[in-house]
Amino acid sequence: MTAAAPQPGEAATGTPAAGTPAAGTPAAGTPAAGTPAAGTAAAGTAAAGTAAAGTAAAGTATGTAAGTAAEPAAAGAAAALLEVSDLRVEFAGVHAVAGASFVIMPGVITGLIGPNGAGKSTTLKLIAGSERPTGGRVVYGGQDITGHPVHQVARRGLIRTFQLSSEFARLTVLENLLVAVPGQRGASFLSALRGKRYWRAQQEELLTRASALLAEFGLTHAADQYAGELSGGQKRLVEIMRALMAQPRMLLLDEPLAGVNPSLREAITEHLARLRDEGLTMLMVEHELAAVDRCCDSVIVMAAGRVLAEGPMQEIRANKEVVDAYLLG
């Protein structure tokens, strides 16, 4: 399996990784300094640490890591990595997201909870670009990305994982990782013309990165196994590793612990905490409140397409409106 492999049909579901056409500026080829990817998080960690403290330096670090000539963010909003304002989308009369607003600080894991149909997955899709909002704004790293397509958003380091695992069952685990990076050099006709040496260097780099991730996640032994043969929990890990191959700055995780047995849940939770400590920012949909308690630094509660409450889990539990709408809903 190489970058020239067919892009599996997952593109239709808006996968930010394998379905992304090469666009000439491969994320993998430009793992910018400050990109807090797994294992290479020194700069990212420092940035996140500062950011968590809510200082102006966080905004600077964020802008730099974006790898863009970021406009100076407005004072006061400087520390936020993601700002969602009055986000809306409607499907055939259903207001799936009906004016959601929240802010995500860098270097933390924020939980997104709420009853079935609250609009959690749709919110992640709107942020990641797989659905277009009918109203509102998404600002990421100081840049307005509202309605930008998945591959553009992914190239900025904002990657979504799926509620249902999206691994390619007929590819091995290693192959799943190698095809997960947007805009690989070998994937375009032009780069094919430039010759093998051009993309071989990148392939080697990807292989090194994939091997390191497999080792970090304790799945080296499964590298050559078909992904379809893995347990539900291992598939979740592959899903997370696939997202990490793109060296994201922020992950949008849609129920990464769903259908996972307790011991692997524990392991995934630990991996997420480690990634957070290395500087990765995460917004994570999760149903089980005990897991949210363990994993998340703060929580956003959605109901009927809106944000009902935000804050530490302790406060959320004491909020009667939330208890009525969600905990007992």
Nearest-approach distance from CB 129 to ligand ATP, in angstroms: 15
* Count of CB atoms situated within 10 Å of the CB of 311: 14
Q: Which residue has the tokens 């409140």?
A: 289
Give the one entry of Mg ion, ligand ATP, none that residue 122 binds, where binding means its C-beta sits below a cut-off of 5 to 8 angstroms depending on kind: ligand ATP
How many chain residues are in contact with ligand ATP, going by CB under 6 A? 13
Nearest-approach distance from CB 120 to Mg ion, in angstroms: 5
Residue nearest to Mg ion (CB): 121
164 sits near ligand ATP (criterion: CB under 6 A): no
Give the residue with the Cβ less far from ligand ATP, 85 or 163: 163
Give the residue with the Cβ less far from Mg ion, 175 or 255: 255
User: Does residue 301 contact residue 316 with C-beta atoms inside 8 Å?
Assistant: yes
Burial 222-261, CB ≥16 within 10 A → b, else e: bbeebbeebeebbbbbbbbbbbbbbbbbbbbbbbbbbebe
Give the one entry of ligand ATP, Mg ion, none that residue 69 binds, where binding means its C-beta sits below a cut-off of 5 to 8 angstroms depending on kind: none
Give the one entry of Mg ion, ligand ATP, none that residue 303 binds, where binding means its C-beta sits below a cut-off of 5 to 8 angstroms depending on kind: none
81 to 140, contacts with ligand ATP by CB under 6 A? 91-92, 94, 96, 114, 116-122
Q: In what order do the strands lie in the sheet with 250-254?
A: 158-160, 250-254, 281-285, 109-113, 298-303, 306-311
Q: How far apart are the first and last CA of the chain?
A: 47
Give the residue with the Cβ less far from ligand ATP, 69 or 92: 92
Give the one entry of Mg ion, ligand ATP, none that residue 118 binds, where binding means its C-beta sits below a cut-off of 5 to 8 angstroms depending on kind: ligand ATP
Query: What does the DSSP assignment read for 217-256?
Result: TT-GGGTTSBGGGS-HHHHHHHHHHHHHHT--SEEEEE-T
Question: Binding residues for ligand ATP, per CB under 6 A?
Answer: 91-92, 94, 96, 114, 116-122, 163
